[in-house]
């Protein structure tokens, strides 16, 4: 049993090194110019090791995006509660802290304009979450929930993108407070 745990940790460390190397390269140059050789050299592993875990650089990009969005979804689901209007700031602050902790990933994704897949997936995740919250509200709104969700998702992703691209000029608590005010103003979390 002890051997299995060591093997698992080594695999995890190797994958982390490959992902980190990939993201560093991704932030330095265009995706099409990144090679598996570049990734393996930066991660200090053999090319074969990279291919052991990923089919190619496209698979690595896709799995990296999927992994972070799944973590963000899990993270948000874990922090979601029935009294969202009361705790929205405390709910949003950990989300911004997650972005801050994983700055390399998010800055790489937003810096490279060719990663529209990441932005699209993030928009889908945020709009679905906002629409679910709107649909759970008991009061009626003159604004179509789907349109409102798309509008707020675009605004949220745009704010996060701006924050990341400007090297996080404000702390997560400030960003959570400002976003809460925008959501409240747009009937997502009405004041009580």
The boundaries of every CATH 1.10.357.10 domain in the chain are 61-192
pTM assigned to the model: 0.70
User: Within 13 Å, how many C-alpha atoms sit on residue 123's CB side?
Assistant: 16
Fold of 61-192: Tetracycline Repressor; domain 2 (1.10.357)
How many whole angstroms from its chain centre is CA 75? 10
The boundaries of every CATH 1.10.10.60 domain in the chain are 1-54
Q: Does domain 1-54 have CATH number 3.30.70.3280?
A: no
Enter the DSSP assignment of 56: S
Q: Mean pLDDT for the chain?
A: 80
The per-residue pLDDT for range 129-162, each reduced to its tens digit, is: 778 877 777 667 777 888 888 888 898 889 998 9
Closest listed residue to residue 100, CA positions, set 153, 169, 43, 21: 169
């Amino acid at each position: 049993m002890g051997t299995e745990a060591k093997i698992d940790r080594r695999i995890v460390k190797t994958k982390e090194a490959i992902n980190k190397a990939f993201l560093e390269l991704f932030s330095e140059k265009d995706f099409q110019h990144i090679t598996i050789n570049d990734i393996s050299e930066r991660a200090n592993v053999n090319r074969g090791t990279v291919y052991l875990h990923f089919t190619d650089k496209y698979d690595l990009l896709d799995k990296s995006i999927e992994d972070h969005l799944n973590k963000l979804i899990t993270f948000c689901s874990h922090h979601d509660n029935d009294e969202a209007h009361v705790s929205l700031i405390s709910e949003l602050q950990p989300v911004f802290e997650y972005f801050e902790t994983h700055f390399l990933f998010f800055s790489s994704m937003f810096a490279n304009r060719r990663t529209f897949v990441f932005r699209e997936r993030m928009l889908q995740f945020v709009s679905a979450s906002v629409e679910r919250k709107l649909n759970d509200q008991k009061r009626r709104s003159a604004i179509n929930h789907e349109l409102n969700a798309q509008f707020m998702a675009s605004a949220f992703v745009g704010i996060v993108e701006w924050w990341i691209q400007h090297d996080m000029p404000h702390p997560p608590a400030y960003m959570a407070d400002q976003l809460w005010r925008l959501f409240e103003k747009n009937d997502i979390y009405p004041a009580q």
